[in-house]
Chain A
Amino acid sequence: GAVVSQHPSRVICKSGTSVKIECRSLDFQATTMFWYRQFPKKSLMLMATSNEGSKATYEQGVEKDKFLINHASLTLSTLTVTSAHPEDSSFYICSARLDRGETQYFGPGTRLLVL
């Protein structure tokens, strides 16, 4: 149980285009999902907390208009990187928390490369 999937696993796009990443909890409902960014050889950096049916809560320094988050259902959250630039290239990882639980389960990550 507690499986989280992400799609796509890898994406290459041109500068200026937008990219959507999906995060799904496969066998449980997640009222809350989280989006992280990880740079090479670094720890995970929380970008935003995604709550089903309401607006996401962004961490300080994360542009909400650039990283659009939609949590439309209890099993799906999406992160859209708008007008992507090479500096947005990174490893993006989502996690989902079981309802009434504390433990976060992570997806396999999405490698984004912006050319």
Chain B
Amino acid sequence: GQQLNQSPQSMFIQEGEDVSMNCTSSSIFNTWLWYKQEPGEGPVLLIALYKAGELTSNGRLTAQFGITRKDSFLNISASIPSDVGIYFCAGLRGSQGNLIFGKGTKLSVKP
């Protein structure tokens, strides 16, 4: 099925550094969601974006819904070791449609 283009695929950073990852699509989405998944667990919702141009923060996390509705980014500021995990973006076209997932960004943080 269709997937979003998520990049980078993986990141190795030092504790305290800022992180940025993004998702792009050739199609328009009405909703963008960012999830974090740790090994052996289900994805946990981090941020939900519902309007084009919307910028939303959740603690050290900030995400934006692109103006064109075809992209979104997630920033993590001042990373800490517990930020380690796989981050997935997911897009939704209609209010009752299925989520389209990116392939994930694996984040590793070195203390």
Tell whether, in the assembled complex, residue A44 and residue B95 are in contact, meaning their CB atoms are under 8 Å apart. no
Complex formed: what's the CA distance from A34 to B45 in Å? 15
Which residues of A49-78 have CB atoms within 8 Å of chain B's CB atoms? 49, 59-60
Q: Which residues of B contact A (CB under 8 A)?
A: 1, 3, 30-31, 33, 35, 40-45, 48, 50, 88, 90, 92, 95-96, 98-99, 101-104
Min CB distance A108 to B, Å, is: 5
How many chain A residues touch the partner (CB < 8 A)?
25
Main secondary structure of the interface of A (DSSP, over half): strand
A103 contacts B by Cβ under 8 Å: yes
Question: A interface vs B, CB < 8 Å?
Answer: 2, 4, 6, 32, 34, 42-46, 49, 59-60, 91, 93, 95, 102-109, 111
Pick from A43, A49, A102: contact of B92, CB below 8 A. Answer: A102
